[in-house]
Structure 1
Amino acid sequence: MSDTQSHGLLFSHLLYPFVDIFCFYSYGPSDLTKIARWIATWPSQNGPLWKPSLMVLLREKHLLQPNAAAVAERLFTSTITALTSNPLDFYFTDSWFLPATDSSSSAPIEAGFHEHLAVVRQRRRESGLLLSVEHTNALFERAFESAGTLYHQPIDLIRSARRDIPVSTELADHLVQFMSHIPSPEDLISFASPIIASSLFCDHYLPDMHYLVVRIRPPTAGHSILCIDGGGVRGIIPPAILGQVQQQLDLPIPVQEFFTLAYGVSAGALVKLAKSAFRPSSTASLPGVNWIRAILSDSLYSETDIEIALKSVFGEKAFTEVAYAQRIGAKIGIPAATIKQPSSLCLFTNYNSSRQGTRGYTVLAAAENIKTWEVYFRAKYLAGLGTFQDAGVLANNPLSIALAEFAATNGNAQPDLVLNVGTGTSPNAPLRDEESNFITDSWILRLKRAYMSLMQGRRIWDDVTSTDINAGRNCGRYRLDLTISNPPAIDDTTSMPALVSMVCRDDILLGALPEIAYHLFATLFYFELTALPQKSVSQAGHGLNDPQEQQPLVIKLGDLK
């Protein structure tokens, strides 16, 4: 067997199932032809389980041609087809021809490579072929051990996985019994199929091979709580503030992963989302007509645009199926308000609350099938539960709810840190020795001012901290907010860039960040005993003795991934 044939077998039969992208450098048309001729020598495979992608980086002579990528792709594809009578996608799922300049920096090439690699790995994940490192190493070692048989057939991953695990003679009976417990076609696809496939492959559903990995905190690790006020387009302020916290931390950990509990009132935080949510109607330019329409339709804006935008982000997933929150082990709650008199607070959660008794709100235990996009914005009827509206009318700051939920889950324990992020607070107006004005101080305007004051999250923060028995004990409770003399309307999307700019220029806010960053960093550390202590009694007194005799107390650092 020639070296060319050996290389062809090595690439097409040994590496083929494991490689995401084959990457080649080409310095001119002659190199491109050589690569195509070499790939044409690869033994053909009939319906391989996995086909990698191809990337060719074009250098030197290629860059002298206009439309270098298109020219190279045509030459490469035509050469492959002429030599094998097969199209290029017979060997690769997709291909990319990328001009690579002669600049000293490799950053653009690396960025393009990682971008395409993410696409390929997502395709692997969707195909159920994204194996763990442990499985990949074991299967590759077995493939290498059987390299001598590659000439006759490519590596069979399933046979390799079951090399030491013979198939049970009762497999068919077990499958029939298992399938008899599957109640619906949906469960067959989402649950039974991956279980059966994993059983055929590895005899069981191995830990760490799941796409969904849930982080479970050690019992000795503490908890941090994040609370975010509501505020329409002013909801752009909390992400900007958290971005500043992230910069201050300077760690390769997303700031949201520092918090185990997160609660927030709905806000039009994203520019694109806000522009969809607050799109004026066709009657907006007619004086008075828009208000009449708002009264008759129960809203200033149509829910159609916002529902389309929310569905595009969350899809049809239930609120308890938000994968990212599950993966990082975070508990999330979104408060809502009932519309009947008297209006009361309710809480949608992605977890099962253990709350007992009454704390001024109701956890909706039957809400696990509610779609994520349904818990946002205008009053909405949810089948089996009722009609709900934005909680901002009762509590625009979910701090008290968050602390109550933490107490219900953790008893008398105290959170390591509580961070309340506001959406802008107006300074208190000074008292003036003057009589009211019939026009500017009419009962309608006074009612509006009183209502808008209820939307100030600062008020709830002051109420909670003033009655907190832990106040003054440096218990790690912080509020980050902007003081805005003339706050924009909650639907003024044009003000969003200015609000972000204010966050970056607020000296008081920025000055508070170092202490919060240090405190967040400290929450990564926790103590862990190597053995359970035992209580002993002696005449000298009482003490806790380690059964392993002076086993050390281990200090561990949280996951930095």
Structure 2
Amino acid sequence: MEAAQSLLRRVARSFYSSEQVVIVDLLTQRQILSLHELSLHLELPMRRIQAYCNELESARILELHQVNTVNTYCFVNYLAAIHAIRWRLSTIRDETETPKSTDPEHYCERCEIVWPVLDLVDQDSPDGLLCPKCRKLTALLPKEDVSTRLFADLGFYELRLREVDQTKLPGSSFWAAYKMLPESERTQQDTSGRLKALVNQLPHPETQTPSLVFTFSCRRGTRKRSAAAACSTVHLDLEPHSVASPNPVFLATSFLSRTNATRLPTHGSDRLTPPRRCCSIMSETSISLEPRLGPANAHLQILFPYIDVICFPCSSRQCLALLVEQFACWRRSALWTQDKSRLAPELLVILTSHKVKEEEVRRVLEGSSDSWMLRPSALTVTRSHAFGGRDKGGDEDREAVLKFTRKLLQRTRSRKSDLGLLFSAHHLMALVDASLQRDQPFPGYVELSRTARPVTPDLSQHLGNFIALLGQGQGQGFGEFATDAIAASLLLDHYAPGMHAFPPHRVFHDLHREACSEALRIGNNTPAQTKPETENSTGIVDSDTFLESIVARMDELHRSGEPAVELHAKSYHKHQDQWLSLRTRDTCLLCIQRVPQYELPCRHSICEHCVRVFGHASEEGPRFFTVYHCFLCGAYAGLHVRVRPPTAGVGVLCIDGGGVRGIIPTTILELLEEEIGLPIPVQEHFQVCAGVSAGALVLSTLFLNGWTAAKCSRAFEAFATTVFRRGQLTGLPGISQLWTVVNNALYDSLPLEVTLKAIFDATTSMTAPSYASTIGAKLALVVAPTWTPNPLLITNYNGVGETSERKGAWTGLPSQSYDVYRGEEGLAVWEVNRSCTAAPAYFAPMHINGVGLLQDAGVTQNNPINLALSELRSLYPAQSLPQYLISLGTGISMESASREHVPGKRTGFFKRHFLYRLFKAYMSLLSGKKTMDDFSRSTKTSPLFERCIRLDAVVPGPPAPLDDAGSVPRLKRSVHQDRLLQGAICALAKRIVASLFYFELDAIPSQRGMQFRGSGCIRCLCRAPDEALSALMQKLVQSSAVFRVNGSRVPGTLSGASFWTSCGNFRKKIKFTSGDATISITLQQGSPEYPISGSPFRLSELVEAQQLNANFGRSDHRERGRRD
């Protein structure tokens, strides 16, 4: 077997492309793979995979088998492949051994072509005969020599063939290998857009509540119907007379066959081709079925929870036996787990022949089905000889079914209405689509409706934090207060606009009961195995009573019919006095479901989600929110928050540490802002920022204070002069080193602390409202704790994000863990910056209450690029890549350190001392270039590589000491004189200008075969009447800038009417067609072109980001499809 696999791999590498080599390698490991799996492995569109496989199939290396309408599998038939290789080698040898001419021949080594001498007569030159193809000199070479080299290459294949002949190859049946696949990979559901097309035919799909009638047939018909039965096709229609009715009827028809349910076609049988359906294939979904269920039951397993009536025409005892077998499949598959007896569909058996008696049918079915499946009134047996006659067509059969099912439909609709499970056509379509996307049995309607908006995974922890907070001296009145707050929070979580009106008790049971029970144990510090007493020290009643009170309160609030947001606001306003004394930074008390991000002046903290739900949309744009007053206590808030468009990319900025060399990054940012040439502060182009030492100080002034880059440069120069001021004695050689050892620092920390308090208000917290929140920036300052080697990040977003992503760099570099501060006390900005600048030997470490002793993080990692990327992944899990990552260095010295070492010269005593060597090692860590070089090598083959830009200046002369304030002017001049840096800044400016545009879909794209079609709009982050918009357009018009979609130019000019809305905002509507579910949009300003923000886009990610698939409401309680 190994010999055959090795031979196939060698043949692929010798005769085929690299993509085909990968395909053959994968097939030698698995033997059978679908084209869809190969497309995922190679990250190539299906059409290219199909072309590669077609070429391999023509050479008999593999076989292609179409199992159903869209599922095509590649299969390695080793016997056929080995025979094909043997024949091909034999053909090559025969052609090579056959002499074609006795004339001498010439060989071109460049073209590897042998030319007869007669073909080269007119190609002579003074040096010899030239090759007619490449015009290079050929060499006289007998053809026998070429053949000898070729025979040597063929020797390997002949050796492998002899080894293969001595082994036993596996069977050559595709169907045998297909049957060995796991059930989840073997059973595929092909779904068309038929249901969506039928729903779109309804005049009011949001309010019409349809019913579903499922009709089985076990008769044998034409070959076309047999083919459909073999493929387990379900045909769906809409009863035409019910289109305008409040209760339209969908009719589903399928064929039931014991053969199709238990046996697959054997190898060699004719391939069945299903009939052409009215709609093309829209998706392909794997469904995990119960082991004994066959393909004929797959569609029923999906549609069963939505069926109102199952109609079964029975003409013989064989048909009745098939129905009994189907009942057994339903029992084994456990299709329904809640309210089985009340939600099971009605069963209508229509006897079409005298061969079967009604009493016999009732006796057999009632004896074989469970009590939940057939209630006394659930089975209806009737007789109709007109149904299914040979002279009848499909329309007559449909009319007969409707005649018998009208009363049954009224009964099922009444039951579902009482249970709150009568769905609109829009919701029914969404539930069926969600069922198709799951690889597990049906979970329940409520849970299925939350597929696109799942419950917060740490809900129990936040509810537990809230209960524990109330137990700290707040026992009086706890019951009503806690019940109202939790009930309002759970209603807010579920009942978004567009959600089906599920009964609150069902919502609580399916989604929240387990989390609330766990929260009660967390809040009471009660072990999970111990049930709380009726009354405990916190004044909380026992869990059952408490949970029942929450459900009762949810029911009471829900019956009012008001929106969940208004109910929540009224409930909180009712207990405003009790909210005054509650404070926590672990849980947002407004929603009790998330970690808070913004700390208000009243010291209440709220999350960004609550800002979007309860905040006021600003006039500046739909993504600017203002919180005027605290939602909990009513105090003044003054919080302004900008939220990034969900389809836009994220810019990342990293700044190294380096003492006075920090003037270099600020000067680079100045030049970058000038090169962009727009009235937009340079920091607004970055959404995630990380800084070390002086870099942290620069970021704090830019993003927290809102200073311009020019002001930051001026202040930094004055800052360096102030804090790096030595005394008269400490300035003497040797005395400074001794003073450092005795005093634990070379400089006094008092001037540094006084200066920092002057720059940053002494009472301002890192999470307080700031310029960073106004522009939507996330800031992380890196410090080094003295008790652990792991860096500590102190952020302006209270450490929110996916904790699982904070395991270090995700770029392939060695993993480095780090911690993110999230404590009960907010840290002052000046304290954090004091810790960031506490460089060992220069300043003493800083002790912060509740945190510990902190120092400059340059001793562990002076370039925070890996930390920034990890935070990007944690904050924006959907962003696979940053829009751009700018790493700013603090200077590269032109004078090599190796000049200090002269070979053969004895090193002095001082340089041999361990203190000097330790100091030199520490100084070498301050260069972020090594970290960047390691990062570049690890990402060289990744798309991340071209998005990471390192900007650093070459500084003439020796490196400037960290405390040499007099070198600041020289460092600034080096930035302006560096020509390579100027060119990099110019290119970056164009990239940033392109990122001011983003793209949004108008609706979910449609799919026809392998082609995706859709439309959307290119929009601009700058909005009217901001002067930046007019300046941007003037700049682009002057440079003749154009947009390109998948390489094709967007027609029109930027000043044209089609690019603007009536409100004066930029918007260009485009239509696109894509074959690989992606779309690339770039802005070309001369050459080269750069991607707009977020490009290239995956269509599925765009749909999810815009929540276009949120058929049951958006998390921000805004209307679905509304542009934010």
SS at match of 1:310: helix
Of residues 465-474 and 270-279 in structure 1, the stretch that sits farther from structure 2 once superposed is 465-474
Find 2:907's aligned residue among 427, 432, 438. 438
Superposed displacement of residue 260, structure 1: 0.6
Asked if residue 541 in structure 1 is aligned to residue 1009 in structure 2, the reply is yes
Q: Which residue of 2 aligns with 1:225?
A: 652
Task: Name the aligned partner's letter for residue 781 of structure 2.
Answer: I
CA distance in 2: counterparts of 1:481 and 1:307, whole angstroms? 29
Which of 532, 540, 554 in structure 1 is aligned with 2:1017?
554
Tell me which amino acid in the other structure corresponds to 1:415. Answer: P
Please state whether the residue corresponding to 1:321 is helix, strand or coil.
coil
Paired residue for 2:679, among 241, 246, 252? 252
User: How far is 1:206 from its partner?
Assistant: 4.4
| Deviations 1:270-315, CA, capped at 9 Å, x for gaps | 1222222212135324554433332233211111111111112221
Picking from 791, 797, 801, the partner of 1:353 is 801
Cα gap change, 1:492/1:218 in structure 2, threshold over 3 Å: closer, same or farther? same
Q: Specify the code of the residue in structure 1 equivalent to 2:768.
A: E
Deviation readout 1:76-124 (Å, 9 max, x if unpaired): xxxxxxxxxxxxxxxxxxxxxxxxxxxxxxxxxxxxxxxxxxxxxxxxx
Aligned partners of 1:248 and 1:205: how far apart in 2? 36
Q: 1:422 aligns with which of 889, 899, 903?
A: 889
1:321 and 1:358 mapped to 2: Cα distance? 27
- 1:42-97 CA distance string (max 9 Å, x none): xxxxxxxxxxxxxxxxxxxxxxxxxxxxxxxxxxxxxxxxxxxxxxxxxxxxxxxx
Q: Deviations over 1:513-543 (max 9, x none)?
A: 2111111111111110122446x6xxx6356
Is this contact kept in 1: 2:649–2:883, CA < 8 A?
Answer: yes
Q: 1:362 and 2:825 equivalent?
A: no
Q: In the alignment, is residue 179 of structure 1 matched against residue 577 of structure 2?
A: yes
Residue 499 of structure 1 aligns with an amino acid whose one-letter code is: L
Secondary structure of 1:347's match?
A: strand
> Does structure 1 retain, via aligned residues, the 8 Å contact 2:954–2:974?
no
User: What is the alpha-carbon distance in structure 2 between the residues aligned to residue 402 and residue 487 of structure 1?
Assistant: 27
Q: Partners in 1 of 2:857 and 2:737 — Cα distance?
A: 22
Alpha carbon RMSD of aligned pairs, Å? 3.4
CA distance 1:441–1:522, change in 2 (3 Å): same
Match of residue 300, structure 1, among 727, 746, 757: 746
Question: Which residue does 2:148 correspond to in 1?
Answer: none
Residue 727 of structure 2 corresponds to residue 281 of structure 1: yes
Partner of 2:775: 328
TM-score of the pair, normalised by structure 2 = 0.31
Distance 2:574 2:803 in 1: 41
Amino acid at match of 1:554: C
Residue 883 of structure 2 aligns to which amino acid in structure 1? Answer: D
What is the distance in 2 between the residues matched to 1:473 and 1:422?
19
Please give the alpha-carbon distance, in whole angstroms, between the structure 1 residues aligned to 2:779 and 2:603. Answer: 29
Distance 1:513 1:347, change over 3 A: same
User: C-alpha displacement at 1:192, in angstroms?
Assistant: 11
Q: Secondary structure at the match of 1:498?
A: helix
8 Å Cα contact 1:419-1:477 kept in structure 2: yes
Percent identity between the two aligned chains: 33
Q: Which residue is 2:970 aligned to?
A: 498
Question: Measured at CA, do residues 287 and 247 of structure 1 come closer, stay the same or move farther in structure 2, by a change above 3 Å?
Answer: closer
Match of 1:400 in 2: 866
Q: CA contact under 8 A between 1:355 and 1:409: conserved in structure 2? A: no
| Equivalent pairs, count | 372
Output one character per residue of 1:177-214: Cα deviation in whole Å (capped at 9) or x when no partner: 523431289xxx94499xxxxxxxxxx97443644321
> What secondary structure sits across from 1:230 in the alignment?
coil
Task: Determine helix, strand or coil for the equivalent of 2:780.
Answer: strand
Distance 1:272 1:363 in 2: 33
Change (3 A) 1:492 1:220: same
CA distance in 1 between counterparts of 2:919 and 2:642 reads: 45
SS in 2 for 1:361: coil
Q: Secondary structure at the match of 2:1018?
A: strand
- CA shift in 2, pair 1:429/1:313, >3 Å: closer
Q: After superposition, give the CA deviation of every residue in 1:206-265 in whole Å (9 maximum; x if it has no partner).
A: 443644321101111001111111111110110101111111110111111001111111
Q: Secondary structure at the match of 1:235?
A: helix
| 1:242–1:192 distance in 2 versus 1, CA, 3 Å | closer
Q: 1:252 to 1:433 in 2, by over 3 A?
A: same
Out of 496, 519, 526, which is 2:991 matched to? Answer: 519
For 1:246, what is the secondary structure of its paired residue?
helix
Aligned equivalents of 2:979, 2:962: Cα separation in 1: 25
Alpha-carbon distance, 1:508 to partner: 1.6
Alpha carbons 1:503, 1:509 under 8 Å: kept: yes
Local SS of the residue matching 2:976: helix
| SS across alignment from 2:803 | coil
Once the two structures are TM-superposed, the CA of residue 458 in structure 1 deviates from its matched residue by 0.7
Could you tell me how far apart the structure 1 residues matched to 2:917 and 2:793 are?
30
Question: 1:430 deviation in Å?
Answer: 5.5
Flag the 1:476–1:345 CA change in 2: closer, same or farther, 3 A: same
Return the letter of the residue paired with 2:949.
Y
Alignment of 1:303-322 (within 5 A): 303-315=749-761, 316-321=763-768
What CA distance in whole angstroms lies between the structure 1 residues aligned with 2:769 and 2:573? Answer: 31
Q: TM-score, normalized by length of structure 1?
A: 0.60
Give the greater-gyration-radius structure (CA).
2
In the alignment, the residues of structure 1 paired with residue 866 and residue 856 of structure 2 have an alpha-carbon distance, to the nearest angstrom, of 17
Structure 1: runs of 5 or more not aligned: 1-172, 194-203
Structure 1 pair 375–205 and aligned structure 2 pair: CA distance change class (3 A) = closer
Distance 1:176 1:282 in 2: 66
Aligned-residue offset at 1:266? 1.9
Say which SS state the counterpart of residue 500 (structure 1) adopts: helix
Separation (CA, whole Å) in 2 of partners of 1:339 and 1:436:
39
- Decide which of 915, 922, 939 is 1:451's aligned counterpart: 922
Instruction: Pick 1 or 2: higher relative contact order, CA cutoff 8 A, min separation 6.
Output: 1
What is the match of residue 85 of structure 2? none
Partner letter of residue 420 of structure 1? S
How much does 1:409 deviate? 2.8
- Counterparts of 2:940 and 2:980, CA distance in 1: 27
Deviation at 1:503, TM superposition (A): 1.1
**Equivalent-residue separation in structure 1 for 2:725 and 2:867 (angstroms):** 32
